[in-house]
Amino acid sequence: MAKTVLLTGASSGIGRATADLLSQNDFKIIATVRKEEDKTSLESLNKNIKCIFLDVTNSDEIKQALTLVKQETDELYAIINNAGQAYTGIVEYANIEEIKQQFAINTLAPLEITKTFLPMIKQGKIINISSVSSNVVYQFISPYCASKKALDIFFQALTLEMDNPNIKIVSIKPGIVKTPIWEKSLDAAYQRLNALPDEAKEKYQKKLNILLEKVRKSIKYGKEPEDVANLVLKILKMKNPKLSYNLGFGAHIGEILSKFSPDFQCFILKCGEKYVKK
């Protein structure tokens, strides 16, 4: 029988690519989406994909999702926490409510979804789509970095605390992936930049513009969503996967930097910033 996987954030990018690939490889996918058109489009890819509507930050909807999933299956083989958002902004002028929303989506939602659905897994895996940003602090996306770091810490703790050795928890840490999340993040960043007071623009506008353009260019050379999907499939088939996997050159560089002191990390990143300006 096909093993059933719960996958969040499946409308586009990594989520859609993962749903498509897994459904072609003997997995039944219960994918969460927000819009009717996304449901129709995703379910048309393969008969093994079933979509349910879910706002991952809404506790009542998570409870309703549990009821819907139990109507489809008695047991889950895996939970893939993919739904996410990237908040780009300046710490000194950060909008606290937007930061709370960043943690709600990237950290607390995967935690609540896992708590809710964990009793349905007897033997299987929990896979979080984290980020290289959980290893290193990058300027102007610190809320995103912090939310992904917190995500990894919670699930590393779950690995230590849980008494079921048959459930494996894995964090996938990609570098930049060509997904809508970054384009949306950049568009929002430019809007926030334009809305800043004059004193903030004087302090940060030039530096922020340079780095935002660097990110925009980097997206063109990022990994494809299918690369992440292939790694997910590989992990699902492993008996004993590692706790963490890097994906892409940037992710490996981030892991190397994380082994050094914060002072050295800042020195290297500032050197990189000067290189970009040239």
| Catalytic residue chosen out of the listed positions 77, 87, 144, 245 | 144
Measure the CA–CA gap between 49 and 276, rounded to whole angstroms.
44
Burial class (CB in 10 A: 0-12, 13-18, 19+), 7: buried
Instruction: Return the amino acid letter for 106.
Output: N
Longest dimension (CA), the chain: 62
Measure the CA–CA gap between 17 and 80, rounded to whole angstroms.
13
Indicate if 275 belongs to the active site.
no
Instruction: Return the amino acid letter for 155.
Output: F
User: Reduced to 3 states, what is the DSSP secondary structure of residue 174?
Assistant: strand
DSSP 145-187: HHHHHHHHHHHHHHHHH---TTEEEEEEEES-B-SHHHHHHHH
Number of H helices, E strands in the chain: 11, 7
Q: Annotated active-site positions, please?
A: 144
